[in-house]
Structure 1
Amino acid sequence: MKTEADRKSFVLAIDLGTSSTKSALFDSRGNRILETMAQRAYPLDTDAAGKAELLAKALAEAFEACVGESIEAGRALHGGTFHIEAVGVSCFWHGLMGLDAKGKPVTEVITWADSRCREDAEELRGRWDEKAIHRATGCMVRSSYWPAKLMWLRRTNARLFKRVARWVSPAEWLMERWCGVGRCAVGMATGTGLFRPDQLRWDVKILSFLGIDTAQLNPVGDEPLATSSAIQERYPELKEARWFPAIGDGAASNLGSGAVEPGLAALNLGTSAALRVMLRGTAAKAPFGLFCYRVDPERYLIGGAISNAGNLRAWCLRELKLSSDADELERALVERKIPQHGLTILPFWVAERAPFWREEMPSMVMGLNPGTTALDILQATTEAVYYRLALIAETVRKATGDIPQIIVSGGAQKSPASMRRLANILNQPVYPSEESEASLRGAAVFALEKIGAKVDQFKPSKPVRPERKIAAVYASAFAMHRALEERLG
């Protein structure tokens, strides 16, 4: 039975994504208070040159609006007599901002998807031993990460580069606005490409090469921050709250979906997608092509991410003029059990990442004919995204052993057609997460763990199992997908 304190003491969780920010209150067991859910969307500013930025002002406004809405909802539920014990934050990895000496942005938020630094990444690979850098940092030398982005900024805008007093993730900047102090979590630093996950420190050799030093980066640590006095006046509920520095969304997704032990993988399908396994230990290493990111000093992730997932579905719906009625689309896709469209697609609208990192490879649609429909292209594109995840799953298995349970969160978990297709392409059971907002819950779980709360662990949900004959058809289509990539690569 919950005590009076349990009913009125909460954790606030915030999830900063590349397309929207979400927030909600969670109870002391890690259960989301549904009535407190808030969300604000914003556009990603892109162009043909590879730009992929978020406006810092739009992100700050979304953050403030979501927090305010969740707290107001909490007041409505509890008559204004509740307090927030801790705040947990999840944020998309690899985002980069430059701040001036007063902590004000001199850049917008440069996201992982921004590929304008592709040539700089290539130059760095020519100068560095990429395998040695990967062993040291857990990150590839690619356009997603900070080294190439910093080199590009210094090359193309030296004046701006010199104005920057600190380089931070967007979550660090936002939390500094609310707490008055900047700090970078271990679980955020690990995704920059500048951090040593086995030694828990910035890599000074890489920093020196890029023309920056540790004074231009926030201190690394998971120690909590306090709410600033100005924010306390506005939101008394936050007066005693401990703000834990933001962790990467991938780490949060594993925590939030319950994929926290060997043999359990979290597969998240959002704007991008990733498959990750959480392990324990200090010697954090991953096979070349996969990432190795810290969750905290005791735990780390091995996995791989792809750049094209929900963003590709959104492109199909928009550009192919497909129905905006999700139920109508679901009914149509449920009937399409196998790939009868004759299409083979390489889904590289945005520069691809794991496991091969062929950033220069163009997207391709092979097999178009006069009978091809918009729905055919949507189905084939979805399948191609799942093939990329199957490649990552193969590579992860080689590194960590069998993965008997793959827990799925994000848009696909709500779609029976998608879950069945995913199970048949992976040729193994997939388990829909009990929490549709895995990264948001993961932010809450991280904070709850740090304050010593006992969090409810999810029990496995009913799996969606592969169908033998359909899985065999998909195995043949998957082989054609791989063959096309190999011919072009």
Structure 2
Amino acid sequence: MRTLVTGIPATVPTGLWCYRIDARRNLVGGALNDVGRVATWIDETLDLGEADLDDIVAAPPSDTTPLMVPFLTGERSTGWAARARASFANVTAASTGPAMARAAFEGVATSYRRIAGQLVEVSGTHSETDVHGRNHGPRRIHAGGGLLSGIPSFATILANALELPVIPVTTKRTTLRGTALLALEALAPGSVPPPPDLAEAIEPDPAQAAHYARQAALFDRLVTGQATE
């Protein structure tokens, strides 16, 4: 997860990285180890019965869903804790394979939420001001990658966890496209590249905000406990 900012940030939150793009812009963001790998782990480990994984992800949230900290191979952003491990919480005898799978995807979205919270600190001070002189952080998220193409409903969980519209990018190899755009700016200044291929925006459901806020609070407590061990 990353955002482009004008100028050099005065400070970069400890969970993020900052790359110089050119003389006037920087790319600030964070990275997760386990996103697509979580989906692979679910497929290889959990018994989902007849349930379809995309249908599990598309279902509304439930207070009975366990919580997963999805650090199967350690944590990158925001803790940079290589020895961190995955954890489940609130698991009961009634927790099914589909419920555990749902927990895993909510855990991935909550990891993105942690990065987004730090990105707001940076982008909110480097974005344009409105007519009232107020700065704003990100207004929407463009999301791409193999996980969304395989499990499109994850965009809904992501939108609700981040409380921002998520616009799926259907163009393949989006990072390569960004590199090509930088080269185009240098070779043909003033040229207007074609826009990326975008799907319809997924709007967050305000009624689900409390659920993801609770999950995020528990997630933070579990991660803090791991860090102090």
Secondary structure at 2:158 match in 1? helix
Partner of 1:271: none
Q: Name the CA distance, whole Å, in 1 between partners of 2:9 and 2:99.
A: 46
1:283 Cα offset (Å): 6.9
1:389 Cα offset (Å): 0.8
Equivalent of residue 375 in structure 1, options 76, 98, 112 = 98
1:423 Cα offset (Å): 0.9
1:432 Cα offset (Å): 1.6
Structure 1 segments unaligned to the other structure (5+ residues):
1-274
Equivalent of residue 480 in structure 1, options 212, 218, 222 = 218
Equivalent of residue 403 in structure 1, options 138, 150, 169 = 138
Partner of 2:89: 366
* CA offset digits 1:110-154 (Å, max 9, x no partner): xxxxxxxxxxxxxxxxxxxxxxxxxxxxxxxxxxxxxxxxxxxxx
Q: How does 1:25-424 map to 2 (within 5 A)?
A: 275-281=1-7, 286-320=12-46, 322=48, 328-334=52-58, 336-401=59-124, 402-414=137-149, 415-424=151-160
Structure 2 segments unaligned to the other structure (5+ residues):
125-136
1:411 Cα offset (Å): 3.2
Pair 488,475 (structure 1): closer, same or farther in 2 beyond 3 Å: same
Secondary structure at 2:52 match in 1? helix
Secondary structure at 2:144 match in 1? strand
Q: Name the CA distance, whole Å, in 1 between partners of 2:9 and 2:214.
A: 38
Q: Are the counterparts in 2 of residues 306 and 352 from structure 1 also a CA contact under 8 Å?
A: yes
1:316 Cα offset (Å): 1.4
Q: Name the CA distance, whole Å, in 1 between partners of 2:118 and 2:159.
A: 17
Secondary structure at 1:306 match in 2? coil
Q: Which has the larger radius of gyration?
A: 1
Q: Name the CA distance, whole Å, in 2 between partners of 1:467 and 1:436.
A: 28
What is the one-letter code of the residue matched to 1:470? Answer: Q
Pair 350,297 (structure 1): closer, same or farther in 2 beyond 3 Å: farther
Q: Are the counterparts in 2 of residues 290 and 354 from structure 1 also a CA contact under 8 Å?
A: yes
Instruction: Give the structure-2-normalised TM-score.
Output: 0.79
Q: Name the CA distance, whole Å, in 2 between partners of 1:444 and 1:300.
A: 17
Q: Name the CA distance, whole Å, in 2 between partners of 1:341 and 1:317.
A: 22
Q: Name the CA distance, whole Å, in 2 between partners of 1:460 and 1:405.
A: 13
Secondary structure at 1:305 match in 2? coil
Aligned residue pairs total: 212
What is the one-letter code of the residue matched to 1:310? Answer: G
What is the one-letter code of the residue matched to 1:287? Answer: P
* CA offset digits 1:284-324 (Å, max 9, x no partner): 8623221011234443211111111111211111222558x
Pair 418,459 (structure 1): closer, same or farther in 2 beyond 3 Å: closer
| Greater length-normalized contact order (CA 8 Å, ≥ 6 residues apart) | 2
1:434 Cα offset (Å): 4.5
Q: Are the counterparts in 2 of residues 449 and 455 from structure 1 also a CA contact under 8 Å?
A: no
Partner of 1:247: none
1:329 Cα offset (Å): 2.3
Partner of 1:249: none
Equivalent of residue 187 in structure 2, options 439, 445, 451 = 451
Q: Name the CA distance, whole Å, in 2 between partners of 1:344 and 1:314.
A: 18
